[in-house]
């Protein structure tokens, strides 16, 4: 919506500029008491405005999106200087040149009426007073001011887009907290875990106590730690470790469960419970009591990216399972809000295996993009 409004504003501004250019010729002909308006003059005015339009289009739809939006400030400035120089050279060496009547006559142009030197002025001296600006310099400054105005307008509209994005994130986060309590962590998991802990009370009291502590920490993570759009990766890894260790209690040796999670997270931030939703789906759809089953999870930090892999034995086509497609759509929507196009989610389903890879940057984008 904001992008359409921005383009609509540009269209109105340029339409007004061309109309004003035509009206200036009309009023000029009236002031000169000409009987008819010479439409060639209007056409010539519009042709003179075309280089400014081309300059705007290059900056607005090519240079700003490619360079400034991705933080390449040096390349952006260099590109702006280059197109301004080409713009000035074009005006200097093409066409009949600017209309002399558009600029005030300079001193020494010849004759008293033309601004020439007054009588009695020594040779080589010029009358005092401001000198008129060179037409090429004037157009260069005008082009630079147009680019600056274009960048300012883009910032204003981007600020509105970012504000709308934050509002949607806040709404999404509230809904996500409710969904996390209802769907993300299967209620059967808690029921079965409590049953396992109950059985451990007599067999291994220490392990039962440890399991209760892990379960309480998981509940606290769901209720409180997931209140923000992103949380430290270390908190999410702690949650996954507790989840996987309790799931291993439930399945014992009947399911191969392996996981490799990093100990050092280097200050990375991730959306809460996104990884947990993938792991929970792996156990829900990948475990069979009749066939050999496995869950293999790994996460590593590579340069400025977090690479998460989850593979499980596939007992049925997951995309046909009721509710799975909706859950994946919700996950993608949350990732789109936080990361835009700066993340990767790959899903493969070779024979009997479901593989998922999620690649996230260390932190979601928080800067303004143009």
In tens, the pLDDT along 14-43 reads 999 888 888 887 777 666 655 555 677 788
The pLDDT of residue 346 is 94
Residues in the chain: 370
Q: Which residues lie below 8 Å from residue 157, measured CB to CB, with a gap of 6+?
A: 2, 3, 5, 6
User: Does residue 60 have a pLDDT over 80?
Assistant: yes
**213-248 CB burial, b ≥16 within 10 A, e <16:** ebbebbeebbeebbeebbbbbbbbbbbbebbbebbe
Q: Is the dihedral of CA 312, 318, 321, 325 positive or negative?
A: positive
Say if residues 338 and 132 touch (Cβ distance below 8 Å). no
The pLDDT of residue 25 is 77
The pLDDT of residue 311 is 94
User: Does residue 337 have a pLDDT over 50?
Assistant: yes
Give residue 133's pLDDT band: very low, low, confident or very high (50, 70, 90): low
Say if residues 120 and 110 touch (Cβ distance below 8 Å). no
User: Does residue 89 have a pLDDT over 90?
Assistant: no
Calculate mean pLDDT across residues 126-151.
73
Say if residues 88 and 139 touch (Cβ distance below 8 Å). yes
Calculate mean pLDDT across residues 348-354.
88
Give residue 152's pLDDT band: very low, low, confident or very high (50, 70, 90): confident
Calculate mean pLDDT across residues 322-330.
59
Q: Is 71 exposed, middle or buried (0-12, 13-18, 19+ CB in 10 A)?
A: exposed
Say if residues 370 and 60 touch (Cβ distance below 8 Å). no
DSSP bridge partners of 354: 312
Q: What pLDDT digit, counting tens, does each position of 355-364 carry?
A: 999 999 987 7
Task: Identify the H or E element spanning 357.
Answer: strand 353-361
Task: Give the Cα separation of 250 and 246 in Å (integer).
Answer: 7
Calculate mean pLDDT across residues 183-206.
73
Give residue 12's pLDDT band: very low, low, confident or very high (50, 70, 90): very high
The pLDDT of residue 319 is 45
């Amino acid at each position: 919506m904001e992008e359409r409004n921005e383009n609509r504003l540009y269209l109105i501004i340029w339409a007004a500029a061309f109309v004003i250019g035509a009206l200036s010729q009309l009023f000029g002909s009236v002031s000169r008491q000409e009987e008819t308006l010479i439409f060639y003059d209007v056409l010539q005015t519009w042709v003179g405005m075309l280089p400014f339009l081309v300059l705007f289009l290059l900056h607005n739809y090519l240079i700003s999106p490619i360079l400034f939006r991705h933080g390449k400030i040096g390349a952006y400035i260099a590109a702006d200087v280059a197109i301004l120089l080409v713009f000035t050279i074009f005006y200097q060496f093409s066409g009949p040149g600017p209309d002399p009547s558009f600029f005030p006559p300079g001193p020494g142009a010849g004759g008293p009426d033309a601004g020439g030197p007054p009588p009695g002025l020594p040779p080589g001296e010029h009358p005092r007073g401001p000198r008129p600006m060179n037409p090429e310099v004037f157009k260069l400054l005008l082009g630079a001011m147009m680019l600056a105005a274009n960048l300012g307008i883009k910032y204003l509209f981007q600020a509105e887009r970012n504000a709308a994005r934050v509002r949607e994130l806040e709404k999404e986060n509230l809904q996500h907290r409710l969904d996390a309590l209802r769907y993300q962590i299967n209620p059967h998991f808690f029921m079965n875990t409590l049953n396992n802990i109950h059985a451990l009370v007599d067999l291994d009291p220490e392990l039962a106590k440890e399991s209760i502590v892990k379960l309480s920490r998981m509940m606290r993570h769901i209720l409180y730690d997931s209140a923000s759009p992103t949380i430290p990766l270390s908190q999410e890894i702690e949650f996954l470790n507790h989840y996987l260790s309790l799931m291993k209690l439930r399945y014992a040796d009947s399911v191969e469960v392996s996981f490799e999670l990093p100990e050092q997270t280097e200050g990375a931030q991730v959306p809460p419970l996104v990884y947990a939703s993938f792991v929970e789906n792996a156990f829900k759809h990948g475990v069979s009591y009749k066939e050999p089953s496995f869950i293999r999870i790994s996460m590593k930090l590579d340069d400025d990216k977090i690479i998460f892999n989850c593979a499980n034995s596939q007992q049925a086509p997951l995309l046909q399972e009721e509710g799975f497609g909706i859950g994946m759509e919700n996950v993608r929507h949350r990732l789109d809000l936080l990361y835009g196009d700066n993340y990767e989610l790959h899903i493969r389903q070779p024979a009997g295996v479901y593989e998922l890879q999620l690649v996230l940057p260390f932190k979601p984008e928080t800067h303004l993009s143009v």
